[in-house]
Amino acid sequence: MSATLNQITGPAYTRIYSYGAARGENAVPNDDLIGPIDSSDEWIRQRTGIVTRVRADKGTDAIDLATTAAAEAIEKSGVPADQVDLVIVATISNPKQSPSVSAIVADRVGANPAAAYDINAACAGYAYAVTQADALIKSGAARYALVIGTEKLSDIVDPADRSISFLLGDGAGAALIGPSDTPGIAPAVWGSDGSKADAVGMNGTLTEFRDGEVPWPTLRQEGQTVFRWAVWEMAKVAREALDRAGVEPTDIAAFIPHQANMRIIDEFAKQLKLPETTVIARDIETTGNTSAASIPLASHRLMAEHPELSGGLALQIGFGAGLVFAAQVVVLP
């Protein structure tokens, strides 16, 4: 008779315990960027809502930013670092192809030997990672998960590119996720549309750069394509996330979309018919677009400025290069 394998199950529910954040050391106003793109402060503000963005020192990388954000999230959570048994890092700006950011951060914050891996889902990366952490904890594969979005996008910016360079900033946001007695993370709506992969992404490969065929690869986008996709298609995804959570727009205390563009954020809110009482994250105004870091950074700032939101429902949605997307409703810590 063959042996029967043991199986495990975890808790029925999970929740976010705390947030942590790290922003680049330098505030970079629009006036510092307008020369190479032949633009103006007014043009950037009108098109994006950005007044300034944060960028890191040359000696600071995405791993450093992630470590700072992770340490704050652990400290605020009350969970000892050595009990964190899963670290997921969402990033497109690991300074090396290998090793992973997650394994280094796990060691730095005292979570070694936690399971650790990186994911690349661009601006949807954090929401992807939350979805995975929720599932892995409920399966019994982990108990406490550290989810981090971290980017140093200033390393992959062409200052003369008018399509995206003035949007981007550097930073990291982290969340500590663990078991809950009540539902704290609703089912996600996630997916991709690879047929539009050329709409936003890198303009070359590392092997092409190595072989002298292209300059250092940087981010580019087709602005109008991305704008239309984000506003019209992602509004549908957000509404589906509300349906899966079993809630109405009037139940949402906070709306935390990827900080891509202020016009997209405002149009989102209008499409979703969110009530005036819903607090809308607009971290992009002074942080810029930080890709995978933008949702946790915006969440961290929102909770600092509006502590009364604790225990309320937040709708978060990430979308970006790929074109990948993920949306879910969460209970704010």
At 218-262, the pLDDT tens digits run: 888 888 888 888 888 899 999 999 999 999 999 999 999 999 999
Token pair of 67 as six digits: 């470590």
Residue type, 169: G
Instruction: Let me know if 30 is a catalytic residue.
Output: no
Question: Which residue among 30, 94, 203, 258 is the active-site one?
Answer: 258
Q: Which domain holds residue 92?
A: 13-180
Count of structural domains within the chain:
2
**What does R_g of the chain's alpha carbons equal in angstroms?**
19
Task: Residue 305: count other Cβ atoms within 10 Å of its Cβ.
Answer: 11
Contacts of 158 (CB under 8 A, 6+ apart): 165, 218, 220
Token pair of 158 as six digits: 């062409």
Instruction: Let me know if 123 is a catalytic residue.
Output: yes
In a domain, 3, yes or no: no
Token pair of 87 as six digits: 């670290």
Of 180, 205, 221, the residue at which a domain comes to its end is: 180
Of 154, 180, 206, the residue at which a domain comes to its end is: 180
> How are beta strands 313-320 and 324-331 bridged, if at all?
antiparallel
In a domain, 47, yes or no: yes
Instruction: Let me know if 289 is a catalytic residue.
Output: yes
Question: Phi and psi (nearest 5°) for 200?
Answer: -155, 130
Whether residue 157 sits in one domain with residue 19? yes
Question: Which residue among 123, 203, 261, 300 is the active-site one?
Answer: 123
Contacts of 260 (CB under 8 A, 6+ apart): 123, 167, 226, 230, 284, 289, 294, 319, 320
Contacts of 197 (CB under 8 A, 6+ apart): 321, 322, 323
Residue 191 sits at the vertex; the CA angle it makes with 187 and 192, to the nearest 5 degrees, is 165
Whether the per-residue pLDDT at 18 is higher than 80: the answer is yes
Q: Give the CATH number, domain containing residue 161.
A: 3.40.47.10
Of 141, 161, 180, the residue at which a domain comes to its end is: 180
Instruction: Give the per-residue pLDDT at 1.
Output: 64
Q: How far apart are CA 239 and CA 326, in angstroms?
A: 12
Q: Say which residue, 56 or 200, is predicted with more confidence.
A: 56
Whether residue 236 sits in one domain with residue 171? no
Task: Residue 98: count other Cβ atoms within 10 Å of its Cβ.
Answer: 7
Residue type, 282: R
Per residue in 178-189, pLDDT tens? 999 999 999 999
Closest by CA to 23, choosing from 290, 221, 245, 329, is 290
Among residues of the chain, what percentage have pLDDT more than 90?
A: 88
